[in-house]
Amino acid sequence: MALNGKTAVVTGAALGIGRAITEILVKNGAKVALLDVNEAEAKTLKKALDKQYGQENTLFVKCDVESEEQIKAALQTTADTFGGIDIVCNNAGILNEGEWEKTVSINLLGVIRVTYLVLKHMNKLSGGRGGVVVNTASMAGLGPFLTCPAYSATKHGVVGFTRSMALASIVSDYGIRFNAVCPGFVQTDLMDNIPNNLGQFSHLADIEKEMVEKMGTIHPSVVAECVLELVTDERKNGDHLLVKSNQKSYVTFPEVL
């Protein structure tokens, strides 16, 4: 999929991985709607992108993925502004074991909310152009993550949801591909804030540090390059790209049926 003339929606676009995804998509010719709750940072990013690529190529819509109404409005504004939606990057997420229900609501339910609401815009059966959805899961969605059980559960859910939507889309002939990127430790605010967000598992903070030291960290731009691969390679559907310490590999899952 060439990105020129394509429209992308990125949730959690203002900072970290979402910012890197937004930048690489705009750089490669897409028009991008930045959805985030952090208005100040999102506007700062848009200003920088406007200067480099022109203001007509991006749109900021304040949107909390916990709110169905805000998602509906943001998707409609995007479609009205750019003429449709071809790419969705469900990236918004938090890690807070002390507020685990909010973590579930954003990381898992937010991905489901946006996906289900964007179908009417993208689904070929309802006049859409088809396209691709790339969800930001995590390495913690592929195996146990003892310091953050609830967070890990949300990412396992995103993996299962992505794999299921990929198959549902094929059978339903939606014309939409569904993939996920599964990063290890990435240098973002989410990582920086981890010591304050382990809740009842704060006694495991040292184990967390050992995992990071052992596994190493990656720059958000490395994750964005993986997302670009999942967006542009039209052979990818139901694929999960694991990226850690600058190594990347496609995950194979056990056959269960």
Judging by DSSP bridges, how do beta strands 58-62 and 7-11 pair with one another?
A: unpaired
Q: What does residue 224 show for φ and ψ, rounded to 5 degrees?
A: -60, -35
Q: How many residues bind ligand LSZI444Z (CB under 6 A)?
A: 15
Site membership for ligand LSZI444Z, residue 194 (CB under 6 A):
yes
Site membership for ligand NAD, residue 36 (CB under 6 A):
yes
Q: Which of 59, 89, 92, 165 binds ligand NAD (CB under 6 A)?
A: 92
Reported as type and span, the H/E element at residue 207 is helix 205-215
Coil, helix or strand at residue 162: helix
Catalytic annotation present for 151: yes
Which 8-state DSSP code applies to residue 243?
E
Site membership for ligand LSZI444Z, residue 140 (CB under 6 A):
yes
Residues 49-78 binding ligand NAD (CB under 6 A) are 63-66
Q: Which residue type is seen at 4?
A: N
Site membership for ligand NAD, residue 15 (CB under 6 A):
yes
Residues 169-203 as b/e (b if ≥16 CB within 10 A, e otherwise) read beeeebbbbbbbbbbbbbebebeeebeebbbebee
Identify which of residues 122 and 139 has a Cβ nearer to ligand LSZI444Z in the complex.
139
Show the tokens assigned to 117: 């609401």
Residue 229 contact among ligand NAD, ligand LSZI444Z, none, beta carbon within 5 to 8 Å by kind: none
Residue 101 contact among ligand NAD, ligand LSZI444Z, none, beta carbon within 5 to 8 Å by kind: none
Site membership for ligand NAD, residue 189 (CB under 6 A):
yes
* 81 CB neighbour count, 10 Å cutoff: 13
Q: Which of 73, 191, 205, 251 binds ligand NAD (CB under 6 A)?
A: 191
Q: Please name the residue ranges forming H helices in 16-127.
A: 16-27, 39-53, 68-82, 100-104, 110-122
Binding site for ligand NAD (CB under 6 A): 11-12, 14-18, 36-38, 63-66, 91-94, 106-107, 136, 138, 183, 185-186, 188-191
Q: List, by residue number, the catalytic residues.
A: 151
